[in-house]
Structure 1
Amino acid sequence: MAKAYVFVRHGGPEVEALVDREPPRPGPGELLVAVRAAGVNPVDHKLRGGYRRPGQAPAVLPEVFGSEAAGVVLEAGPGVTGFAVGDAVFGSTLTGGYATHTLLPAAVAAHKPEGLSFAEAAVLPVAAATAYDGIRQLALPAGATLLVTGVGGGVGGNAARLARHEGLRVLGTASEGKREYVESLGVTHVAPGPGLAERVRAVAPEGVDGVLDLVGGEHLRAVAELVADRTKLVTAGGKQIVAELGGSPVARARTAEVLDAVAALAAADVLRPHITAVYPLERAGEALRAVESGHARGKVVIEVAP
């Protein structure tokens, strides 16, 4: 019998449970994977609370937590090519990652490079791929100045590494407690809060050439004025208000090609995931609390024993 960590209805932590279930069966174009590791992301607890992504079907309860995972192929569904039983793979899940077994869409899955652990591969589809898509969308030339709001999180750290790799000067907002980590990325730390725009101007009098926002709300409004070309204002945190500011949301590609690209960058230590906490599946609730608190540094991972 397989195990999975689920929410049985919408609500808070009280609706979570570790349950036994039959492993899912792969349909056409799907891979059945024995999960070795799963990433924990803020969207996980938001979905528990009732949030659905645009176009996402209503939840079928109980719903398994987790949108990204890495593991070993147990079975390939009809029509699958390029993958075989025993392959180490990673990708975005169809049936949740906090589980011993999950389904991945073969069209949006990738082989895990030998140089990456399962834990490292598991956290690439959300944070690293979002950062990759955002930096590609901004398309700033080497030498340009980029401001990343919320740079201390999983997406922000990856965006900073990739931007620095491409020769950009990077400024980043993060709490004082994350200053040391932010500066270790080669990023100029800027404290958030009232007066943010003035503090950015103090360290970049010439202005910024682009903004990658990962916070939204008033934080996004405060930094929008810093970039003259609003096509260079891109957000993964303020999708509801970015249009009125002249910017746009991060356009997620969600392709196998992007996963292959971020995996190659991770194996080359450009986007090496910053994993700060690892929990077994039996303590998935603790892992989720660590992210839900908003104070997690880097990435939190759930490891599933083989």
Structure 2
Amino acid sequence: MLVAVRAAGVNPVDWKVRGGYGQTGAVAFPVAFGREAAGVVVEVGAGVEGFQGGDAVFGNALAGSFAEYALLPAELTAHKPSGLSFTDAATLPVAAATAYDGIRQFGLPPGSTVLINGVGGGVGVAAAQLARHAGLHVVGTASAAKKDFVASLGVTHVEPGPGVADRVAAAAPDGIDAIFDLVGGVALEEVADALKDRSRLVSAADLATVTALGGVWVARTRNRETLDALAQLVLQGALDPYVTTIFPLAEAASALRLVEDGHARGKVVIEVPE
């Protein structure tokens, strides 16, 4: 479907792609950044059912969403409820959906404790809320500057860096039942020993490191049912997208830089004027 973009979420994958992360072949320029968008359907392709011109939608962009128009595959797109803003809807297809899949993957019973490694970003903030909604206790690593913000989510804050394993143990004296990693690398290695059952070590940031540690990559659903479920959670007040910074399309580079620097709290969104 061709969609007139009203808002586009910014994610770490965007600056990683810009730097060649995961790129195995030649790139055809120009390239538009952005993996998630919300907007209004302009035209539907052959065989598309359930959507028509004028529908408000949100979903995963096929070839970039930092633009006035984007292509969205119908199977990865959902109708936007009237009570959900375009700005909030644009945060759901990548960040919130990754969080949703990760927390569901654990299958933990209420009362269990999950450690979210890198809880202060877009995926982490959504994961913390979804875990809490599922009745889980949440411990999260984040910089000292994000301590109050993390605490406001009902998360026990732990500062990363040397000695983090001891701080995690002190924050969760009954142990950690699962780890959702959103950082990777050394930061993941430093907390992995807090978990005895490595089948409940899941990463959305570093496939090589999590595999080496005996864990697994997050299993993504990528379907309309997940998007619909997330929209309902927002409407019910169980999930706040926490859009903390909004940039106009003309300042997309600044939005990308803010996410890349790692200082963003919650979600950064680009809005496109009508």
Shared fold (TM-score, shorter chain, > 0.5): yes
Q: After the TM superposition, which of the residue ranges 155-164 and 259-268 deviates more from structure 2?
A: 259-268
Report if the CA contact (8 A) 1:196-1:223 is conserved. Answer: yes
Shift of 1:287: 1.2
Change (3 A) 1:92 1:301: same
How far apart in 1 are the matches of 2:203 and 2:68? Answer: 34
Among 236, 252, 269, the residue aligned to 1:268: 236
Supply the AA of the counterpart residue of 2:108.
L
Deviations 1:223-258 (A, max 9, x none): 111111111111112211112211101011111111
Report if the CA contact (8 A) 1:235-1:242 is conserved. Answer: yes
Deviations 1:52-89 (A, max 9, x none): 36xx8743211011111000001000000011111000
Does 1:33 find its partner at 2:10? no
Does 1:137 find its partner at 2:105? yes
- Unaligned runs of 5+ residues in structure 2 are none
Supply the AA of the counterpart residue of 2:11.
N
Q: CA RMSD in A?
A: 1.2
Query: Secondary structure at 2:208's aligned position in 1?
Result: coil
How far apart in 1 are the matches of 2:117 and 2:47? Answer: 42
Deviations 1:126-177 (A, max 9, x none): 1100000000101110000111010001000100000001110100000010
Shift of 1:221: 1.1
Report if the CA contact (8 A) 1:32-1:103 is conserved. Answer: yes
How far apart in 2 are the matches of 1:248 and 1:95? Answer: 28
Shift of 1:268: 1.5
TM-score, structure 1 as length reference: 0.87
Partner of 2:257: 289
- Unaligned runs of 5+ residues in structure 1 are 1-30
Shift of 1:106: 0.3
Supply the AA of the counterpart residue of 1:282.
A
Supply the AA of the counterpart residue of 2:151.
E
How far apart in 2 are the matches of 1:243 and 1:37? Answer: 35
Displacement over 3 Å in runs of 4+? none
Change (3 A) 1:265 1:58: farther
Does 1:45 find its partner at 2:37? no
Query: Secondary structure at 2:120's aligned position in 1?
Result: coil
Report if the CA contact (8 A) 1:128-1:271 is conserved. Answer: no
Shift of 1:95: 2.1
Does 1:81 find its partner at 2:52? no
Change (3 A) 1:257 1:59: farther
TM-score, structure 2 as length reference: 0.97
Supply the AA of the counterpart residue of 2:254.
E
Paired positions, count: 274
- Identity within the alignment, %: 60
Among 148, 151, 156, the residue aligned to 2:116: 148
Query: Secondary structure at 2:100's aligned position in 1?
Result: helix
Among 130, 134, 145, the residue aligned to 1:177: 145
Partner of 1:259: 227
Query: Secondary structure at 2:54's aligned position in 1?
Result: coil
Report if the CA contact (8 A) 1:52-1:58 is conserved. Answer: no
Query: Secondary structure at 2:207's aligned position in 1?
Result: coil
1:141-290 alignment, distance < 5 Å: 141-290=109-258
Query: Secondary structure at 2:43's aligned position in 1?
Result: strand
How far apart in 1 are the matches of 2:4 and 2:26? Answer: 26
How far apart in 1 are the matches of 2:82 and 2:38? Answer: 13
Among 97, 122, 130, the residue aligned to 2:90: 122
